[in-house]
Homo-oligomer: A and B are copies of this chain.
Amino acid sequence: MAIIVQKFGGTSVADSDKIRRASRRAIRALEKGYQVVVVASARGKQTDQLIADALDLNPNPPKREMDQLLSTGEQQTVSLFAMALHAAGQDAISFTGGQIRMLTNSDYTKARIKSVDAERIHRELNKGRVVIVAGFQGIDENDNITTLGRGGSDTTAVALAAALKADECEIYTDVDGIYTADPRIYTNAGKMDKISYDEILELASLGAGVIYTRAVECGKNYDVRIHLRSSFEETEGTIITHEVPQMEGVVVSGATVQRDMAKIALVGVDNKPGNAAKVFAGLAKAKVVVNDIVQTEVSSEKANLSFTVHASDLTAAKNAVEQIRDEVHCENIFVRDDIAEISVVGVGMRTHYGVADKMFGALAKAEVNIDSITTSEIRISCIVDEKQAEKALVSVCEAFELDKPAEQRTKAS
């Protein structure tokens, strides 16, 4: 019998009415002939309240105890969800991560899933029950409760869909799908019907933020069809799936802008093996997450090295770089925190040329100066002045016809 996994985030189960509404989704899927597994997050602001309670007692609470505490939020939701289904006359049973042996490593607050007991779930599904699983949580080998970190419930849902060989993993959220660009900036942006794992991974890391990277990676690895859709509307959302042939005809699937970033440039660093390693070792020690890195040789002796970081990491990054400065004989350090990154993403780039050309042309037309450029196989990103970010994005969207459905755009060469 076909299985569907439905994941409801905190806003979708925030109160009794929303839990009832979500439970009706489960019943409709049953009526369509699916066996249904629900994954639920903690209700609304419950997790924030628990964190505040913890910090009130200990500004630096032990991580094991933090996980023990926070996991109660999801446990409450799943039992309430089961009660809502019973009230509607539908048999249902809730499980904590521990009860279905969602085994993780012991890396508290950001544990990784190792395995899950699909048998217990199949047994309950075969009794005609809806199975409701607490997202975000697992247990380690010693029955300690672990949590999976940000977006953990998405990961739980996709991992379960993989383990159960589900037809689809529906992620219910407060947006109705992935858009070709942020509609608040580019009002003509259209909703995508489909997007590939690789594209969403590039978009997610660039700040689209509708689904978490780890969940998509898990979906990609285990071939789980993910359906992002609205909790509050009946419309179809966006399917995240493996690259399909027709996707290749679409050169650019979407465009994004990322703000809150800063760039540090080390000018005139000694062009010697190991110098870049020293810089990034220093940054890692300072726990700075580095995004794009660009290095260019300016002579046989000297090179320029620049990288971008999240704005909140700028001070730590500057301090780390200052400490290594003399060791790598850096002549000058420039910092920019007034920048934004415009990116276009599309698996079609692998097989089509002219994308960079068209993007740079669009930026030129909007009179936007490009500070620097980085690319991956399916992405082109340009750093621009933050003040020009919005008009840059709109110009790029227009150039790639991101207002039209993919099949109506001008064919790529």
Contacts and interface: CB of A to CB of B under 8 A. Distances in A.
A57 B143 contact: no
Nearest to A56: B16
Interface string A72-89: 100110111011101100
A156 B140 CA distance: 25
A contacts with B: majority SS: helix
Nearest to A67: B79
A69 B79 contact: yes
Given A68-B94, A87-B57, A99-B144, A62 B75 contact: no
A143 B98 contact: yes
A2 to B, nearest CB: 26
A64 to B, nearest CB: 7
Contacts of A66: 79, 83
A61 interface: yes
A306 B54 CA distance: 55
A86 B68 CA distance: 15
Nearest to A99: B143
A50 B68 contact: no
B54 A83 contact: yes
A331 to B, nearest CB: 48
Contact of A98 (B16, B76, B83, B98): B98
A19 interface: yes
A69 to B, nearest CB: 4
10 contacts: A19-B57, A53-B76, A54-B80, A57-B87, A65-B82, A65-B83, A66-B83, A68-B79, A69-B79, A99-B145
Given A50-B76, A54-B83, A61-B86, 10 more contacts: A16-B53, A16-B56, A19-B57, A66-B83, A68-B82, A69-B80, A71-B75, A72-B72, A98-B98, A99-B144
